[in-house]
Every structure is written in C-alpha cells, then in structure tokens.
Amino acid sequence: MKDQKLTTSQIFVITVFSILGVDILVVPHDMVSLADQDAWVSLILGGLLLYAGAIPFLYLLNNYPDKDLPQIILQVAGKWLGRIFLLPIILFVIMYAALSTRLFAQALKLFLVDKTPIWIMVISLVVVAAYMVYKDVHTMSAVLDILFPVSIISLVILIVLSLQNIEPDRIKPILFRNTKNVIKAIIPGFYHFAGFGAIAYFMCYASDRKAAYKSYLLGLGVPVFFYVVTTVICIMVFGVPPLKVIVYPTLNLSKSIEFQAAILDRLESFMAVFWISIVFSSLVIFYYISVRNLSEFFSIPNRYGKYVIYSHILLLPIISLFPPSSLVVFEYHDRVKYLEVLIGFVIFPIVTVWAAIKKKRGMQQ
C-alpha cells in the first residue's frame, strides 16, 4: 500500500477539494447574515486563522512521515486516550460528509431535478464514492485530477460572467461600526474551511515531502480565494438585504446571468458541473478519511478494510437522510462545525505539543 506515491500536484488537488465543498453554495449567505457587507473581511481573517492552524499541523506530520492521522494520534496519546481524541474526529468527518451530501442533494432537487427523490441522489453519490475508495488512494486522486480543472474553470467562468451584473457601491461602507460583527464572524468563517486536516491522511503517500508541504500551503489559498471572491461578487450582485434570505446565493448567481444573445439560455445547468464535481470530490475525500478513522479506531486489519467501506454505504445515507427538513439540515450542519473548533483548537494542538515533548525526550535519551 505504501509503495503508491502521490505527486505534488495531486497533493495540491486533494488539499483544494478537501476544503472546497458544498459550502461554496451557502458561504455568501452564511457570512453576510453575520457580518453584513463586511463578510469578506471575516472570511479573509478566517483564512489567516486557517494558515495559523495548518503550519503547526505540518510540523506534526513531519515527525511521523509514514503514518496518517489516526495512527499518529494513537501512537502519541496511547491506546485509550488516543481513541478518546479520535472520537470527535470520527464523528465530525462522518457527519460532515453525510450532511454535505444531503445539502447537495437538496440544492440539486431545488434547482434541477424536482421529482427525483433525495434518497436516490444521496445513495447513488455514496455508491460511486464507495467504489473509488474501494479502489485506492491512487485511483481517487487520479479522478480528482480530472475533476479539478473542470470545476475550477467553470467556477471562474461563473465569477467572470457575474461581473456584468455587479454594483460596486453595495459593498460600501467598508468596516463602518461593524468591527464587532466582523470579529465575531471570523470563527464561523473558519468553519467553512473545515477539512484542512484531511491532508494528514494523504501526506504519507507523498513522493516528495518538501514540495508537498509547499503545495499544501498553496492549495489552502485556493478555497480561501474562491470563498472570498464569491462572497464579494454575491454582495455586489444581490445586495446585503436579499442575501440574508437567499439560501443558495451561488446558484442564484448562476441563474441571474443573462446574455444579450439567446444562445446560452439557462446557464445554470452548465454551472451544475462545478458544484456537483466539487461536492462529489469532497465526499470521496471524507469517505476515505472516515474509513481510515474507523479502521484504526477498531484496529481492523487491512484485509477486512473493505467491510468498513461497505458499512459506509449504509451509514452515510442513514445519517444524511435523518434530518426531516431542509431547515433542520442547515441547523445540524452549523452545529457539526462546533466539533471542528474542538478538533482544530484543542485536539490538534494537544497532540502536536505532546508529540514535540515526546520527540525531545527521545532525543535526550
């Protein structure tokens, strides 16, 4: 298993897709609800926080070059405490994957396929993801490589075409008597970058570690950039008061684009390419992570690994279909993100410091 290597560019793609998820559809609404027209400032600051969390994290990974996150945690914190640390991570990953899929299916139902039941969309997505995880890391990242340019290019097209509708005045006044809200919105802004830790499950396959670190840090910037730009564009196109009520502003953005010539009517069906592939990619990554987590948690040997994959085919749809209505899904989706803060600001730092102390002791001996 360890002889497969991921190239530096594949690490970059995995980094981008692990963060860029279903949030791209809701980020402008969520952030504007909290910080009005200055939402983008909070997002930038949240992005800085992301880097602040990611750099010590790399230090941890560097100490254990051939292990992935659950293995590192179990080694550093021991059998029992390690499992306690692992528990919120397991919970977060599986909830995040399931709820993202549900959010995505909901948006798909709302905008494209009215009569298709949500369960069929969720299950078909999960089954395809299961097949990719069943193959191996190499296949996964090869598929992500194919989806990456398509989704990024169509996202860029969306942004460029929206420029014709913008009214720059709507973003003003900048930071006027709003600093308190902006600061309050930094942590929620950081939530949207959930998944920056996903790389810990792939770094052990990197062929060139030094270059992989660099491409990881570079890759973190891509989602930050797209979230900030999408938010700014949405504010300029819709204005702050409507954004507070539009549920999927990015999709409405693609619906509001208009051409003088009628050759490209209904651009939003074309734009579905970017968000479907983005959500699918992040599902695949989180699927894999969840499988790894559970395998390590229950110490399941490699040859039985496929049964963990199969179990997810049931587990993910059950969790994602559990919330009865779309408003409840949003509520759960928000709550799950508190786990991310616990993981990002409590568990990762403790493990990192612990690992550093252990290393020092080992050197002294």
Partner 1 sequence: MKKTILPIILLLIPINLLMLTGCWDRKDIENRGYVLGIAVDSYSPKDSQVKGDEAIKEGFEETETAIGQPVYEMTIQLPIIKRSPSLAASGSGSSGNEPKTWQITQSGNDFISMEREMESRTSLTLYYEHLQVLVLSDKVLKDGLDKMIDFFLRHREMRTSVSIFVAEGSAKKILEVVPQEEDHSATYLFELPINADKNSRIAYKHNLGEAMNCLRAGDAFVLPKVEASKDEIKIKGGALIKEGKMAGWADELDIEVTNIIADRYKGGTVVGRLPGSKEGIIVMEVTSAKTKTTPIIKDGELSFDIHVKVKGRYAEQVGVTSGRLVDKDFIKECEKEFAKTIETRCRKTIEKMQKKYNVDVFQLNRKVRTQKPAYWEEVKDDWDEIFPNLDINVKAEAQIELIGVMK
Binding range to partner 1, per CB under 8 A, among 72-80, 144-152, 182-190, 236-244? 236-244
Task: Write each residue from 177 to 196 as x if it is in contact with partner 1 (CB under 8 A), else as -, in one continuous string.
Answer: x-------------------
119 belongs to the binding site for partner 1 (CB under 8 A): no
Binding range to partner 1, per CB under 8 A, among 21-29, 91-99, 252-260, 314-322? 252-260
2 belongs to the binding site for partner 1 (CB under 8 A): no
- What is the C-alpha separation between 261 and 250, in angstroms, rounded? 23
The position carrying tokens 């890759």 is 219
Binding range to partner 1, per CB under 8 A, among 56-64, 232-240, 298-306, 345-353? 232-240
- Which is closer to partner 1, CB of 327 or CB of 363? 327
Task: Write each residue from 140 to 179 as x if it is in contact with partner 1 (CB under 8 A), else as -, in one continuous string.
Answer: -----------------------------xx-xx--xx--
- 317: preceding bond cis by omega (within 30 degrees): no
CB of 7 to partner 1, least distance (A): 30
Contacts of 292-299 spanning 24+ positions with Cβ under 8 A: 292/68, 292/69, 292/70, 292/201, 293/70, 293/86, 293/89, 293/90, 293/93, 294/90, 295/70, 296/70, 296/71, 296/74, 296/86, 297/70, 297/83, 297/86, 297/87, 297/90
349 belongs to the binding site for partner 1 (CB under 8 A): no
Residue type, 283: L
Q: Where in 89-118 is the site for partner 1 (CB under 8 A)?
A: 110-117
226 belongs to the binding site for partner 1 (CB under 8 A): no
CB of 346 to partner 1, least distance (A): 39
Sign of CA dihedral 269, 26, 279, 98: negative
- 141, 10 contact by CB (below 8 A): yes
Binding range to partner 1, per CB under 8 A, among 59-67, 207-215, 235-243, 311-319? 235-243
Residue from 255, 305, 321, 342 touching partner 1 (CB under 8 A): that is 255
Considering CB under 8 A, how many residues would be counted as binding partner 1? 29
Beta-carbon contacts of 217 under 8 Å, excluding residues fewer than 6 positions away, are 51, 54, 55, 58
Question: Concatenated DSSP letters for 217-245?
Answer: HHHHHHHHHHHHHHHHHHHHHH-HHHHTT
What backbone torsions phi and psi does residue 247 show, to the nearest 5 degrees?
A: -75, -45
Measured in whole angstroms, the distance separating CA 125 from the mean position of its chain's CA atoms is: 16
331 belongs to the binding site for partner 1 (CB under 8 A): no
303 belongs to the binding site for partner 1 (CB under 8 A): no
Task: Write each residue from 62 to 91 as x if it is in contact with partner 1 (CB under 8 A), else as -, in one continuous string.
Answer: ------------------------------
Q: C-alpha angle with apex 139: 14 to 123, nearest 5 degrees?
A: 85
Provide the binding-site residues for partner 1, judged by CB under 8 A: 110-117, 120, 169-170, 172-173, 176-177, 237-242, 244-245, 252, 255-256, 258, 265-266
